[in-house]
């Protein structure tokens, strides 16, 4: 069995185990309420011991269990949609010129438009909050490509499939179609992605490259030349490889486990030879935070360290 297959099996095993455990915990709470924990022998341990304190979490934070196991299915109606001003959503394929984007608070008419795709766990409304933060930081009009959440377990499983370029992801399709349409219209494109959003960008750009070669008959060199009209910024991305052609700036907080373990690494790993930031990419390494406290947050660990794109490409951080 390959390492990848073992990884997929592990994800399935974790999902099934968590589902079974939570079901049993919820049944216990329903049957005995707050008066008694019913001891049930399970593998040599009592269920009451195993879920000690957990049933209170279920009662007080019922939404957590739902989010973990897929309770955010209401957000799926927005999967792959474009998000603009006021959190409005627009169908994939809507021309960017027809979407009122999120603008900086001090500039209602910016000259540049940036597409942003979010990472795991973000609802449409949470992504909208990030769009405003990005607009204020960059001075550009921001349009979101929504990567819907189904709960943490399902989101992580989708990340694995994105890593393997398997299955469908509406956010990948929308991003790829939008980039392709803009390039075919002769326009340049500026895109951003955080966390799984970096994976989505990597996959979408690969799809665009294939489409240019297969559908349009371009040589690899010509496809890469056209992709040179795409500017890409990633923040704490979980992708370790990107296709050649676009102009890349990757931000990696070396205290953040997501990019250092699953993305481009910390620049000092024996596995770095397996990673590819894209030809000519600028990878900006720095350190912020400690442990899991804020080291992966877009608003804390990444946007404050972002500089204008041309400066970043010149290494002027």
CA dist 317 and 88 (Å) reads: 34
From 21, 46, 69, the end of a domain falls on: 69
Indicate if 83 and 228 belong to the same structural domain.
yes
Residue 166 pLDDT level (bands cut at 50, 70, 90): confident
- pLDDT averaged over every residue in the chain: 82
Q: Work out the average pLDDT over 16-42.
A: 40
Q: Work out the average pLDDT over 149-164.
A: 77
Residue 103 pLDDT level (bands cut at 50, 70, 90): very high
pLDDT of residue 71: 52
From 19, 39, 69, the end of a domain falls on: 69
Indicate if 27 and 104 belong to the same structural domain.
no
Indicate whether 168 pLDDT > 90. no
Indicate if 57 and 200 belong to the same structural domain.
no
Residue 30 pLDDT level (bands cut at 50, 70, 90): very low
Strand residue runs (E) in the chain: 41-42, 45-46, 82-83, 89-90, 113-117, 141-145, 189-194, 230-235, 247-253, 282-286
Higher pLDDT, 159 or 53: 159
Indicate if 100 and 60 belong to the same structural domain.
no
Indicate if 35 and 165 belong to the same structural domain.
no
Residue 145 pLDDT level (bands cut at 50, 70, 90): very high
Indicate whether 5 pLDDT > 50. no
Indicate if 168 and 295 belong to the same structural domain.
yes
DSSP string, 205-267: HHHHHHHHHHTS---HHHHHHHHTTEEEEEES----B--SSSEEEEEEETT-HIIIIISS--S
The lowest-confidence range among 45-49, 103-107, 144-148, 157-161 is 45-49
Residue 72 pLDDT level (bands cut at 50, 70, 90): low
Domain total in the chain: 2
Indicate which CATH number applies to the domain containing 218: 3.40.50
pLDDT of residue 266: 92
pLDDT of residue 216: 97
Indicate if 128 and 61 belong to the same structural domain.
no
Residue 60 pLDDT level (bands cut at 50, 70, 90): very low
- The two tokens of residue 27 are 């049944």
- Plot region of 92 (φ>0 → left; ψ -120 to 50 → alpha; else → beta): beta
Q: Is 45 exposed, middle or buried (0-12, 13-18, 19+ CB in 10 A)?
A: exposed
pLDDT of residue 152: 73
Domain of 64? 3-69
Indicate if 9 and 94 belong to the same structural domain.
no
pLDDT of residue 45: 41
pLDDT of residue 290: 87
Indicate if 171 and 83 belong to the same structural domain.
yes
pLDDT of residue 151: 78
Indicate whether 41 pLDDT > 60. no
The lowest-confidence range among 31-35, 204-208, 256-260, 303-307 is 31-35
Indicate if 119 and 213 belong to the same structural domain.
yes
Q: Work out the average pLDDT over 140-150.
A: 96
- The two tokens of residue 226 are 């056209």
pLDDT of residue 63: 46
pLDDT of residue 274: 86
pLDDT of residue 55: 33
From 69, 101, 116, the end of a domain falls on: 69
Residue 155 pLDDT level (bands cut at 50, 70, 90): confident
Q: Work out the average pLDDT over 60-81.
A: 66
Q: Work out the average pLDDT over 227-247.
A: 98
Indicate if 44 and 180 belong to the same structural domain.
no
Q: What predicted TM-score, i.e. pTM, was given to this entire model? A: 0.77
Indicate if 103 and 202 belong to the same structural domain.
yes
Which residues 6+ apart lie within 8 Å of 195 measured at CB? Answer: 118, 119, 120, 235, 236, 237, 238, 258, 296, 298
């Amino acid at each position: 069995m390959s390492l990848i297959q073992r990884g997929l099996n592990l994800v399935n095993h974790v999902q099934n185990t968590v589902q079974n455990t939570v079901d049993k915990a919820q049944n216990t709470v329903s049957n005995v309420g707050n008066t008694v924990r019913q001891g049930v022998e399970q593998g040599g341990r009592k269920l009451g011991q195993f879920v000690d304190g957990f049933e209170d979490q279920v009662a007080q934070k019922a939404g957590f269990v739902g989010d973990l196991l897929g309770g955010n299915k209401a957000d799926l109606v927005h999967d792959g949609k474009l998000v603009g001003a006021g959190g409005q959503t627009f169908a994939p394929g809507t021309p960017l010129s027809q979407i009122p984007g999120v603008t900086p608070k001090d500039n209602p008419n910016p000259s540049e438009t940036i597409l942003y795709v979010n990472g795991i766990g973000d609802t449409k409304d949470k992504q909208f909050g990030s769009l405003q933060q990005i607009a204020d930081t960059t001075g550009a009009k921001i349009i979101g490509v929504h990567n819907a959440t189904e709960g943490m377990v399902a989101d992580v499983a989708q990340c694995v499939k994105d890593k393997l370029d398997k299955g469908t992801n509406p956010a990948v399709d929308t991003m790829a179609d939008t980039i392709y349409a803009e390039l075919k219209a002769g326009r340049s494109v500026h895109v951003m992605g955080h966390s799984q959003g970096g994976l989505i960008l990597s996959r979408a750009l690969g799809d665009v490259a294939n489409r240019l070669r297969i559908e349009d008959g371009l040589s690899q060199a010509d496809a890469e030349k056209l992709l040179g009209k795409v500017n890409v910024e990633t923040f704490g991305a979980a992708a370790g490889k990107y296709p050649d052609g676009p102009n890349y700036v990757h931000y990696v907080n070396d205290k953040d486990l997501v990019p250092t373990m699953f993305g481009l690494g910390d620049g000092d790993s024996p596995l770095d030879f397996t990673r590819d930031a894209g030809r000519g990419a600028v990878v900006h390494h720095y350190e912020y935070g400690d442990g899991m406290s804020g080291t992966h947050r877009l608003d804390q660990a990444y946007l404050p360290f972002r500089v204008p794109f041309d400066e970043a490409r010149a290494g002027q951080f």
